[in-house]
Amino acid sequence: MKCGTAMLRAGEPSEALRGLRAALGRWWRSYWQSRSRRAAVFMLRALDEKTLHDIGVDRSEIESVVYGEPSERRLCYKPDAN
């Protein structure tokens, strides 16, 4: 064995390959999370005011509802006094 090299057992991926696989997995999950959020914004924007009101979202809140943390959401919704 040469200095600075490691022996691999048959069938085991190298450390670099495991790191690449992990990085690609993170990128893939991030990519699909981004696409699903964009689709959610698109669908919520397509709703009419009454439907948005029924689910408790003001049109100005759509992005914060989709992209924000639930604890950071600033509520503009005011329930009817009926």
Q: What confidence category does residue 13 fall into, taking pLDDT thresholds of 50, 70 and 90? A: confident
State the pTM of this model. Answer: 0.63
Q: Give the separation between CA 40 and CA 23, rounded to whole angstroms.
A: 26
Q: Is the pLDDT of residue 3 over 60?
A: no
Q: For 43-75, what is each residue's pLDDT tens digit?
A: 999 999 999 999 989 999 999 899 987 676 665
Closest CA to 58 of 73, 71, 43, 75: 75
Range of the domain at 56: 15-72
Helix (H) or strand (E) run with residue 38 in it: helix 15-46
The count of structural domains within the chain is 1
Q: 57 near 77, Cβ under 8 Å?
A: yes
For residue 55, how far is the Cα from the chain centroid? 21
Domain-embedded: residue 78: no
Domain-embedded: residue 58: yes
